Amino acid sequence: MQFTPVNEIPAIRKELEASFRKGVAQSLKWRRHQLYQLARMVQDHLDEWVQAIIADLGRPIAETYPSETGLIIERSIISATQLETWTAPEVLTEVVPDWQKSWKPTIYRAAKGVVLIIGPWNYPMVLTLQPLMGAIAAGCCAVVKPSELSPHYSALLAKLLPKYLDPSAYRVILGGPDVGAQAMEIRCKSHIFFTGGGKVGRIIATAAGKHLTPVTLELGGKSPIIVDPNYDIKLAAKRILWGKISNCGQICVCPDHVFVVREKQEEFIAALKEYYHQFFPDGALASDSIGRIVNEAHFNRLKGLLARTKGNIVLGGQTDDKLRMEPTIIKDVTQEDSLMEEELFGPILPILPVDSMEDAISQIRSRPHPLMLYVFTDDPKLKKNVLANTLSGNIAFNDTFQALSVNELPLGGVGDSGCGYQILRHGFNTFSYLRSSIDMPRDAEASLEVRYPPYTKEKVAF
Ligand code: NAD
């Protein structure tokens, strides 16, 4: 993958600024065409995209269509068809008091300008093209920087995007932190949409703060699971194991660790083992149904965390020389363990035995707000208790991250897991701002007379 020379980035930005000022991205007809073109770009080269993602992540094809290619095709088309509804000015004459009706109070959804989208490697397509979709729908121009750690995807994007989308409005730049940092250094006031880890997220927020640039931070963190002892333990184990192995655990909303009451720990482990053998009859390392760890640095990081754990490995733990790692279950883990130091981002599931559901809730409250919180329970009181006493970007009851396939739900974090939202209308909202407006009629002058000096006694007699 050839990186974009950093000294070329200011010129790219200038070109896009000029296009935005000329109004290139303004008409709805043009935006709709770009959104359809985005869908075509993915559809026409389906196999190339899938192969690029396999080369980067070794991810099974069965996981890629629903989470990346299929999703982008479907959501680009929905965006194109919803454009008129999303962009329609909101005329408020019905809701304002009578004396303001003639002013035609209206909210316009206006494009923010030239925006920067910085993506991670773990879902390289959906996490660059989904925000781009929002930017196109909103009428913005955009610079997209995919991750250097998914080089096959990134190179393909740089090759195909200019063939389908108007390059005077949308550009791809390739590279790592240097290129990303350079893209932010140019006085960018419109919006930065960043998806990645909290460490880089803080760098982005600081750089954006310098220019008062609005940011969306789609970050990660340790998303916990609570399993109610009265829930169906086998079903919980099956759904949790699926959540843990998809993309080999490298998902921002991956269930990170699980709280189970002490007396149910062994039953839960037995169920996890049963489903492990069902999912991988010949073992995970011999299976095509699980991906691999993205690179050696992450592979060694995970092996290092496992080497230092004080918990007991009850399943898995083996790796091979192709960056593959067995789904690994560790029991009797405590908050002080190596596995609780950072977001795991791999197929490792620590089990933290607790005394009660209250104990689990209080342990969750003692850590930064996660992106997702998973609760397996049928008990409405426990659901209410968790909702009232915890904060998380999103919450799912009785499943793991299937919620992400619901088109109408926004995805976003809170506190350490980020700020701002994406997915369809919510992405459109991110890249537009609410432009309030009135249009005062000439004949309103009589009713406005009271505001002009001199402020006589009659005028101030409220
Ligand atoms: P990362 O933070 O290392 O990198 C993300 C992007 O930032 C890459 O394109 C990288 O080149 C760029 N970058 C790095 N340093 C930079 C700098 N100084 N200036 C500008 N850009 C810079 O993250 P990653 O390892 O690619 O992704 C994994 C992380 O992303 C995990 O923490 C995961 O939870 C999170 N994530 C969050 C979501 C979400 O929707 N909330 C989705 C996927 C991944």
For residue range 211-247, list pLDDT tens digits in order: 999 999 999 999 999 999 999 999 999 999 999 999 9
pLDDT value, residue 175: 96
Pocket test for ligand 1, best of 144, 149, 200, 217 (most atoms within 8 A of CB): 200
Alpha-carbon distance 294 to 306, whole Å?
17
Alpha-carbon distance 449 to 462, whole Å?
15
CA 221 to ligand 1 center in whole angstroms: 12
Q: Is 119 in the pocket of ligand 1 (CB under 6 A)?
A: yes
Res. 185: pLDDT tops 80: no
Question: Could you give the 3-state DSSP secondary structure of residue 383?
Answer: helix
Res. 462: pLDDT tops 80: no
Alpha-carbon distance 171 to 441, whole Å?
43
Q: Is 343 in the pocket of ligand 1 (CB under 6 A)?
A: yes
Calculate mean pLDDT across residues 273-288. Answer: 97
426: left (phi over 0), alpha (psi -120 to 50) or beta: alpha
Q: Is 142 in the pocket of ligand 1 (CB under 6 A)?
A: no
Res. 160: pLDDT tops 90: yes
Average pLDDT, the chain: 96
Our measurement of the distance from residue 57's CA atom to the centroid of its chain's CA atoms, rounded to an integer in Å, reads 18
Within 10 angstroms of residue 6's Cβ, the number of other Cβ atoms is 15
Continuous segment of H or E residues that includes residue 395: strand 394-397
Pocket test for ligand 1, best of 56, 147, 223 (most atoms within 8 A of CB): 147
pLDDT band at 29 (very low <50, low <70, confident <90, very high): very high
Q: Is the pTM of this model over 0.90?
A: yes
Q: Is the dihedral of CA 182, 419, 253, 115 positive or negative?
A: negative
pLDDT value, residue 182: 87
pLDDT value, residue 188: 65
CA 121 to ligand 1 center in whole angstroms: 7
pLDDT band at 183 (very low <50, low <70, confident <90, very high): confident
Higher-scoring residue by pLDDT: 189, 67 = 67
Task: State the Rg of the chain over Cα.
Answer: 25
Closest Cα to atom 41, ligand 1: which residue? 218
Closest Cα to atom 12, ligand 1: which residue? 177
CA 219 to ligand 1 center in whole angstroms: 8
Calculate mean pLDDT across residues 424-440. Answer: 98
Residues 110-142: pLDDT tens digits? 999 999 999 999 999 999 999 999 999 999 999
State the catalytic residues.
Answer: 218, 252
Calculate mean pLDDT across residues 379-386. Answer: 98
Diameter of the chain measured on Cα atoms: 91
Closest CA to 12 of 232, 157, 174, 245: 174
Alpha-carbon distance 423 to 409, whole Å?
7
CA 203 to ligand 1 center in whole angstroms: 11
Res. 187: pLDDT tops 70: no
Tokens 């803080």 -> residue: 202
Tokens 């091979």 -> residue: 320
Higher-scoring residue by pLDDT: 140, 457 = 140
Alpha-carbon distance 184 to 186, whole Å?
5
Share of the chain above pLDDT 90, in %: 96
Q: Is 202 in the pocket of ligand 1 (CB under 6 A)?
A: no
Q: Is 344 in the pocket of ligand 1 (CB under 6 A)?
A: no
Count, in order, helices (H) and strands (E) of the chain: 16, 16
Q: Is 219 in the pocket of ligand 1 (CB under 6 A)?
A: yes
Complete DSSP assignment for 81-142: HHHHHHH--EE-TTTS-GGGGGG--EEEEEE--EEEEE--SSSTTHHHHHHHHHHHHHT-EE
CA 108 to ligand 1 center in whole angstroms: 32
Calculate mean pLDDT across residues 171-188. Answer: 87
